[in-house]
Structure 1
Amino acid sequence: MRKVYILGAGCMGGAILSGLRGKYGASHLRAVETSSSRSACLTACGFEVSERIESIDCNDIVVLAVPPQQFQIAVRDNQVLLSHEGPVISVMAGVTTKSLCRALGHARVIRSIPNTASEVREGITIYYAPENADSDLIAAAQMVFGAIGNYIKVDNECLIDSGTALAGGGPALIAYFANALQQYAENEGFDSEVAWKVCTQLLYGTSMLMKSTGKASMQLCKEVQTVGGTTECAIQVFERNDLNKTIALALTAAADQSVELGK
């Protein structure tokens, strides 16, 4: 199996490392991390770690997972990337395909946005490939993405910015809502551990119900409600405060920031 170099093992890079190890083992994974504390942690977890890529085979895969603001520095510190024409997969928010190709000197690149659920192989990755992408590049990307969950290819690169907001930031938005549920439970007198258990099961159970039945989210919402009932009363509060608009504004702000990062 070809080696996979993860350049930047922070939250997302670490999640990808864990996801790939879960399916393929760690022997073909190489973490590239400059933080001494992260390197020590990764080494303790059984990963091979180095500060930079010293040499690389032509078929090896590189995953760029550094913060977008550090991309140019990462290329400067890993000069081998400038002569490597194997598959390169970016998970950096905002960095466009054009910028990737210009910095690396070739077009065998994939721009993608996975999310942190990749750590437990339940992620969703939205990716874009240039029109002239060869089958090996696509296969390499899908091998990585398939090891960390599901993936969806888009034909319009602009959708990656929206995907960054929706899929990339989605776990944080859902966790934020879950925290509100948990805070309510604790304020009402539930033990914090019980509140956490109820909230996590709500998220898990509802997600499984949607996936197993194929029902639309609002269909499930309406099925829980009865006229004049408690749930309908709660949903009416959401509607009076235009929760849909608030969520749309938050996602739009995140998508706009993705565009800004790419400038």
Structure 2
Amino acid sequence: MDIDVLLNHKIGFIGGGNIAQALIGGLVVNGFPREQICVAESSESVREVLQEKDISIFKESTDMLYWVDVVILAVKPQELASVLEPLKNLFKDKLIISIVAGASLSTLAQLTNTYNIVRAMPNIPALVQTGAHGIFASADVNEVDRNLSAKILAVTGLCIWVKAESDLDAVTAISGSGPAYFFYMMESMIRAGKNMGLDEKTAAALTLQTALGAAQMAISSGFSPAELRKKVTSPNGATEAALQVFDRESISQSIQTALAAAQKCSQTLTQGLSESTKSSS
């Protein structure tokens, strides 16, 4: 990855949890200087983990904000208002990238007194640099800062701009929550393997490698998942027998219904956070 566009910036994280640590690791692996990264984190145990990364660490955010020009918000949604209210007038001329689930641009603007904000919905595979992030920017964000924010997030995986902020609720349902769906499928396949006489280690190894191989084929083959499914399904074969059960049980429709429920939940959380922020101001 071309990291040069980032080199004249200092990046600060408010919150040092898993995704923040993934981004820090991705930046460092891609050659971004450790001395240009800092984190403000209130938890002593998390600060101890961060110490091992050889970056600057602050207990309070105030001092850090005077030093950085890019701020990544990585706190829990329920902590957002209490963390940002005391800092409200310290974000002028800074680019803000928020990875806080459910925090809308309007909520973030109210809490930071700026509109130079990019929202991102990452997912947990960012921890192994294979994340999938949906991003959306306020109209006030210029092209330079849009490019900068995408470069930062891309150190941990795929980064896709969506057309509307509301699309981030769909991103939440598909990729934000998506890893859990695949883990669920893996669990079920491993359990089935054990029921058919395989030991757990063998069933797990076969399942995980198959998941990896299928994903890699879908990414690199040039064929859609539907086309690949047809290519590996022989008439009257074992694969077809299994897929017929999926069809009888309406598995495809169940998946679509489940993701719609996740999207609705994301919308509700965003609305709730917005209302609680307004009522506390």
> TM-score w.r.t. structure 2 length?
0.86
Counterparts of 1:209-220 in structure 2 under 5 Å? 209-220=217-228
State the partner residue of 1:69: 78
Deviations 1:71-98 (A, max 9, x none): 1022135x27634431101111111111
Q: What is the 5 A alignment of 1:17-56?
A: 17-23=24-30, 24=32, 26-53=34-61, 54-56=63-65
Q: Aligned equivalents of 1:11 and 1:185: distance in 2?
A: 32
Decide whether the 8 Å contact of 1:61 with 1:87 is kept in 2: yes
Structure 1 runs (4+) greater than 4 angstroms displaced:
none
d(CA) in 1 for partners of 2:121, 2:15: 15
**Residue range with higher mean Cα deviation, 51-60 or 169-178:** 51-60
Shift of 1:197: 2.0
Q: Check if 1:10 corresponds to 2:17.
A: yes
Partner Cα separation in structure 2 for residue 82 and residue 252 of structure 1: 38
For residues 139-218 of structure 1, the aligned pairs below 5 Å read: 139-218=147-226
Matched residue type, 2:64: S
The letter for the 1-side match of 2:128 is: V
Write the distance in 1 (CA, Å) between the matches of 2:89 and 2:151.
21
1:52 positional shift: 2.1
Task: Report what 1:246 is aligned to.
Answer: 254
Please provide the CA RMSD for this pair: 1.9
- CA shift for structure 1 position 64: 1.0
Structure 2 Cα separation of the partners of residues 186 and 46 of structure 1: 44
Distance 1:212 1:102, change over 3 A: same
Instruction: Give the count of matched residue pairs.
Output: 262
2:115 equivalent to 1:107: yes
Equivalent in the alignment of 2:267: 259
Task: Tell whether 2:232 aligns with 1:224.
Answer: yes
Conserved? CA contact 1:6–1:17, under 8 Å: no
Q: Is the 8 A contact 1:58 1:86 kept in 2?
A: no
In 1, are the aligned partners of 2:77 and 2:102 still within 8 Å (CA)? Answer: yes
In structure 2, relative to structure 1, the CA distance for the partners of 1:43 and 1:187 (3 Å cut) is farther
Equivalent pairs: percent with the same residue? 26
1:21 is displaced (CA, Å) by 2.4
